[in-house]
Chains A and B, each alone.
Chain A
Amino acid sequence: MLTVTRLEKSFATEDGPLRVIDGVSFTVPDGQCYALLGPSGCGKTTTLRCVAGLEEPDAGRIEIAGTVVYDSAARIAVPTNQRPIGIVFQSYAIWPHFDVFENVAYPLRVARPRIARGEIEDRVMAVLDLVGMRDLAKRPAPRLSGGQQQRVALARAIVRRPKLLLLDEPLSNLDARLRDYMRKELADLIERIGITALFVTHDQAEALSLAQRVAVMNEGHLIQEGAPREVYSAPATAFVAEFIGGSNIVEGRVASRNDARAQVALQGGGPVFEIDMEATPGETVNVLFRPEGIRLSTTPVEGGNVLSGTISASIFTGSVIDYTVALAGGLRLRVIAPSDQQFERGTAVWLTVRDVRGLKREHPPSGT
């Protein structure tokens, strides 16, 4: 189990201190895989490095497997080499002057009390077997491919049976095809060895598919935490909605409400949407449409929750087509359609919205 409590960290920069982590708390239960997800520069890596002890926080408390490794109040800071962790670095950091076997054996060789040679050999080979690198044990490190380096890095991180596995963007150095493959391998492996893992990524697909719980970070704050499905389907803020799944966010006004439903009119006119949410009439709210929750058709559609517009741009990506649709009121929506639904630019289309959510406006919608 990993418990991080009210972690804070600033870096000294030329224009004064830069607050990178601002009161982050979370818990990773035993045997679970936990993902920190967020845009570049939000402080994910720094959080991970604080857990590893590679960076000393300014305040807070970190507990790994029942041992306090950092506590600012009690002035405890256990150095990295005495924490029961294994790390997979973003660069993999495979030592170029060792071969595969020596890279993986290193954590056991430096362990005190000493571990017998025979045992080291057995344990290294067992782990190499696990990651499918047994046959390449004698290969020099500089002659490994990206995927092989990743496996070696993983083997090295788990060989001394740490209580916590830390992974920093473990797949970002691989090309797209290999990334999909290694993601499955990694998920499979983490589950098989049943290790507690914390990993960091800015790729939402990676986080959602690998982790049992995800936490979305922005600007040093932890914004929302939960099971992948929960965070995906019920984003707490516009930022989360946009970051996970790239939602369309449109301003709307609550016209009236009955029971738990609010009738919301979009800013540019058009139909009124019925949305499950707490809101008072007259209030301005954010309305969320998922790009993949909209169906396009070229024939007029009857019924509620239907908008009309024209196709203004499209990007063909293979399995799906990413359309931008200009609505009558001047709004633009992103729509993801199956690749057999091909429309020319300028085609008039009707949009059936199947997935619509409302969000209170704590923060104004960011960007797009």
Chain B
Amino acid sequence: MPLPQCATPTTTDWSSRIIPTLGAIAAVYLIAVPLAMLIYAAFRGPADFLPFEAGAQWTVDNVRAVFTDPIMYGEIIPDTLTFVAGTVCLTTVMALAMAWLIERTDLPYRGVWFALIIFPTLVPIVVQAIAWILLLSPNAGWINRLIRVATGWSGKGPVDVFSMAGLIFCQSLSVAPFVFLQFSATLRAMNPAFEDASRGSGASTWTTLRRITLPVLLPGLLAPIILITLITFEQFELPLIIGLPGGINVFAYRIYNELNPASGLPNYGRAAAISLPFLAMGLLALLAYNHAIRNAEKFVTVTGKAYAQRRIPLGAWRWPAYGFLGFYVGFAAILPALILLWTSLFGFSVPGSVPLDQASLASYRQLFADPLLWRAVRNSFTVAILSALIVTLLGALIAWIVTRSTFSGRWLLDALSFMSLGIPAVITGLAVMVLYLSVPIGIYGTVWILVIAYSYRLAVSTRLSRATIMQVHKELEEASEAAGARWLTTQVRILLPLIMPGLVSAFLLLFIIGMREFTLPFVLYSQENVVMSVLIWQFFQGGEPARSAALATLMIAIVLPLVVFARRYLVSRGAGE
């Protein structure tokens, strides 16, 4: 065996240093650079000048203008907080009840309910929002018409979706499935011995639930609850589509408004200045989230292992359970799907007012004849696939650096990628916009700026990959090294195949997130880089509900089979074991 007579530490594989270093640089570039630009922009003026533009100078005008604005204290902050708090309460109650019914009771048809509950996670929020407007708008909403016919109510309403209550209701319907998945996992991971021990000590089912189950689960439930806060806080679509007509003014919309004022030029500095406190709030919530998951990990209940749970018999309580689940699934999945399909065929006409044989495929035909559609389809796929690929690989690399390497700055990298979870999408959109308007590399307005902007969500992949890598026993890699393999060979031939299932699920998840994304492509919109979700909204806003609904239906028809096909990668691992 040829061996170098002696070698110094510097002769180790260059690849083991270069590749992680490049990964680290890319992560910093995707997250830290736009943020730095944003902060810089907040202190540059005047008004519509870009931070590096000739004539721009240091100023605190933006910050002062924003913080002395009475609207900030009278509307934006209270509205944002009410929206978040209301959604957190409603979603927690709904999602927890659903998770408990599915995981811990003998409810019949659990598999079907489960599928129906998580179906909305595939549907872009714009699509949901449009469906809810069609269902619940005070004038023409189907539900309102139905109530009016049934009760003889006159005038508008009685339900008004364009209100804070309506906004909270819609937002809760839309985040509930995500939290439901996490609550379910927590419930599955609870060791039933805790409850058995309580029953064995003579406690009743109810006492056990109150004194044992809930306190033991609490740390595991806290993290998802904070996650609702984060998701709702950065929500843009619903405040734009449902909140705005109801006069609700959350910060995400306000930032957008500074960039696209009704009259005059965009004010980048002002938009950046508004971002700052909300960026801080997002990161604060993120810290709380981090603390909560650490706590939950420390707690014995969350072991990642799924136990066979003993199910509580519902008896006659299953009828109210059906009622509750039916209400949720009806409003979140079934009615929206029906109304979109109907609208794509009949436009604004309601059932009963048109003979069924007047259904028309005209809107589909128009749609397919429109070159804009094909551009949007191509863009959606390009951006979703490329960004999912970038984030999966980069996230895995960062996860590797954090778990396996001894790079000194690795905690910083970890923090940075985790931070992406707390940065609202509108703020990312703004930061990326200011950056590429300032740096003339010609990607502004193209799909490439979307690929880069989408790729900031590193945390999704880092967290998934980290869990996967930690499951690979380190000796498997050491055995390869000891067999004489170089660093890169070990990574490619041993580690990569072993973490592949984890990477595939991260990719799929990111692909779905990419297809649903609306905020980034809307903020960074141009004729050239239009994507499907934005086009749906443009059609709807332009008074073409049938075409909008047709495109929405089409989009679901594309995503749904993909996901059904790949579901074994998406269903949480705990369920299978």
Contact = CB atoms under 8 A, between A and B. Distances in A.
A89 interface: yes
A162 B484 CA distance: 10
Given A93-B478, A95-B494, A106 B483 contact: yes
Nearest to A104: B483
A91 B1 CA distance: 27
A147 interface: no
A96 B498 contact: yes
Given A78-B7, A107-B483, A93 B498 contact: no
B480 interface: yes
Interface string A290-331: 000000000000000000000000000000000000000000
Interface in A137-184: 156-157, 160-163, 166
Interface string B494-518: 1001100000000000000000000
Nearest to B478: A54
Nearest to B406: A56
Given A52-B482, A77-B9, A87-B482, A82 B4 contact: yes
Contacts of B485: 81, 106-107, 110
Interface of B: 1, 3-9, 11-13, 473, 475-476, 478-487, 489, 493-494, 497-498
Contact of A86 (B11, B482, B489, B494): B482
Contacts of A86: 482-483
A85 B482 contact: yes
A111 interface: yes
Interface string A78-111: 1111111111011101011100000000110011
Given A91-B473, A97-B497, A67 B5 contact: yes
Contacts of A52: 478, 482
A97 B496 CA distance: 11
Given A76-B6, A111-B484, A156-B479, 7 more contacts: A79-B7, A82-B3, A82-B7, A84-B3, A89-B475, A89-B479, A97-B497
Given A95-B494, A97-B498, A80 B482 contact: yes
Contacts of A91: 473, 475
The listed residue with most A CB atoms (<10 A of its CB), out of B12, B481, B489, B498, is B481
Contact of B475 (A82, A93, A97, A160): A93
Contacts of B11: 79
Residue of B7, B9, B484, B486 contacting most chain A CB atoms (<10 Å): B484
A93 B473 contact: yes
Contact of A80 (B4, B478, B493): B478
B452 to A, nearest CB: 34
A316 to B, nearest CB: 33
A77 B12 CA distance: 9
* In the A-B complex, the 5 residue pairs with the closest CB atoms: A107-B483, A93-B475, A110-B485, A93-B479, A87-B482
A75 interface: yes
A79 B12 contact: yes
B567 to A, nearest CB: 22
A260 interface: no
A68 interface: yes
Contact of B481 (A54, A95, A160): A54
A96 B485 CA distance: 17
Nearest to A56: B9
A51 B1 CA distance: 18
A31 B119 CA distance: 65
Contacts of A76: 6-8
A74 interface: yes
Interface of A is mostly: loop
Contacts of A161: 1
B479 A110 contact: no
Given A67-B3, A93-B476, A106-B483, A75 B9 contact: yes
Contacts of B7: 76-79, 82
A91 to B, nearest CB: 5
Nearest to A79: B12
Nearest to A111: B484
Contacts of B478: 52, 54, 80, 87, 89, 93
Interface centre among B8, B483, B485 (most CB of A within 10 A): B483
Contacts of B498: 95-97
12 contacts: A77-B8, A78-B7, A84-B3, A86-B483, A87-B478, A89-B475, A95-B476, A95-B494, A95-B498, A106-B485, A106-B493, A160-B1
Given A79-B12, A87-B478, A90-B475, A110 B5 contact: no
Contacts of B484: 81-82, 107, 110-111, 160
B6 A68 contact: yes
Nearest to B473: A91
A160 B6 CA distance: 21
A157 B497 CA distance: 21
B358 to A, nearest CB: 58
Given A75-B9, A90-B475, A91-B473, A106 B3 contact: no
Nearest to B7: A78
Nearest to A76: B6
A74 to B, nearest CB: 7
A336 B483 CA distance: 45
Contact of A84 (B1, B13, B479, B480): B1
Nearest to A89: B475
B536 to A, nearest CB: 42
Contacts of B476: 93, 95
Contact of B479 (A79, A95, A111, A163): A95
Contacts of B489: 110
Nearest to A103: B479
Nearest to A162: B1
Interface string A98-127: 000000001100110000000000000000
Contacts of A93: 473, 475-476, 478-479
A75 to B, nearest CB: 6
Contacts of A107: 483-485
Contacts of B481: 54, 79-81
B480 A106 contact: yes
A83 B498 CA distance: 25
Nearest to A68: B6
B2 to A, nearest CB: 8
Interface in A62-78: 67-68, 71, 74-78
Contacts of A85: 482
Interface in A209-236: none
Q: Which residue, of B6, B486, B493, B494, has the highest number of chain A Cβ atoms within 10 A?
A: B6
A79 B12 CA distance: 6
A110 B489 CA distance: 8
A51 to B, nearest CB: 11
Contact of A110 (B4, B12, B486): B486
Contacts of B494: 95
Contacts of B3: 67, 78, 82-84
Contacts of B473: 91, 93
Contacts of A77: 7-9
B532 to A, nearest CB: 37
Interface string A53-65: 0100000000000
Contacts of A110: 480, 483-486, 489, 493
Contacts of B1: 84, 160-163
Contacts of B487: 81
A87 B480 CA distance: 10
Nearest to A105: B483
Contacts of B6: 67-68, 71, 74, 76, 78
Nearest to B485: A110
B76 to A, nearest CB: 45
Nearest to A71: B6
Contacts of A89: 475, 478-479
A90 B479 CA distance: 11
Contact of A81 (B475, B482, B497): B482
Among A74, A78, A84: residue with most chain B CB under 10 A: A78
B15 to A, nearest CB: 12
A86 B473 CA distance: 18
